[in-house]
Amino acid sequence: MAAESNKTLGVIFDLDGVLVDSYQAHYESWRRLAAEQGFEYSREQFAATFGRTSRDILSHHWMKPLSADQVAAADDRKEELYRQIIRQDFPIMPGGPELVHSLHRAGFLLAVGSSAPPANVELSIELLGLRDVFGAVVTGRDVQRGKPDPQVFLLAAERLGLAPAACAVVEDAPAGVAAGRAGGMTVIALTGTATRQQLAAADLMVDRLDELSPARLQKLLLAVR
């Protein structure tokens, strides 16, 4: 199929754990935030909430109750710590930029659908060198409900001008897989952040981004339309 025809198909990428190998950087930023507040923060605690917005974590899953103002301040501080970490050592996911560029050349409409705040998303896209290829970028500040609610992906599809059924979502977290499914999209799960069992609801599971290609995504999307 010609590249022009692919403009009726979209691919929406989660950012953390998909295009950015940010798991360790996010854990470290949460650990530092907790330490500043006098708490220890375990990898098990981090894994249990990975993929949720930081506001949701601080509001409902933190070590102590926080007021709305305290949530906002802690949220800002956590993300400031995260950006400090990735500026020093930016962790690109192998094959990520190459896949995005190949899809762009093939004519797919592309978007980011991330729970992260705008400053994190903007910095990551800049460091990835992908600023000019995404037709839509949706961040955690654009939505009222975080994953597993599908709002972030539905808004990304809307901004691309596509129906949800014409879009594939590339995700690494169970909450993101659930969001894509709830939104009526084809879901591709990238292993590494979660176990294969936790990602089993996805339509396709891959261990590396270089297992994906424009032809494979085109075939997958057209098969379910």
Does 172 participate in catalysis according to the annotation?
A: no
Q: Does one domain contain both 188 and 140?
A: yes
Domain count along the chain: 2
Chain segment 3-61, per-residue pLDDT in tens: 656 779 999 999 999 999 998 999 999 999 999 999 999 999 998 887 677 888 999 99
Q: Is the pLDDT of residue 107 over 90?
A: yes
Of residues 14, 21, 56, 75, which has the active-site annotation? 14
Cis upstream peptide for 174 (omega within 30°): no
Q: Do 112 and 216 have their domain in common?
A: yes
CA separation for the pair 33, 217 (Å, rounded):
39
Token pair listed for 173: 């977290």
Same domain, 143 and 153: yes
> What is the reported pLDDT for 1?
47
Q: Which two tokens stand for residue 154?
A: 């539905």
Q: Are residues 119 and 58 in the same domain?
A: no
- Return the CATH number at 190: 3.40.50.1000
Say yes or no: 135 and 51 in one domain.
no
Print the domain residue range for 202: 3-21+92-224
Same domain, 135 and 176: yes
- The answer to whether residues 176 and 75 belong to one domain is no
Is 61 found in the same domain as 103? no
Q: Does 110 share its domain with 62? A: no
Residues belonging to the chain: 225
Report helix, strand or coil for 206. strand
Q: Are residues 15 and 43 in the same domain?
A: no
Domain boundary among 58, 88, 118: 88
Q: What is the pLDDT of residues 175-212, one digit of tens each?
A: 999 999 999 999 999 999 899 999 999 999 999 999 99
Are residues 17 and 27 located together in one domain of the fold? no
210 tagged catalytic: no
Provide the CATH number for the domain around residue 64. Answer: 1.10.150
Instruction: Say how far apart CA 75 and CA 111 lie, in whole Å.
Output: 25
Question: Does 96 lie in the same domain as 34?
Answer: no
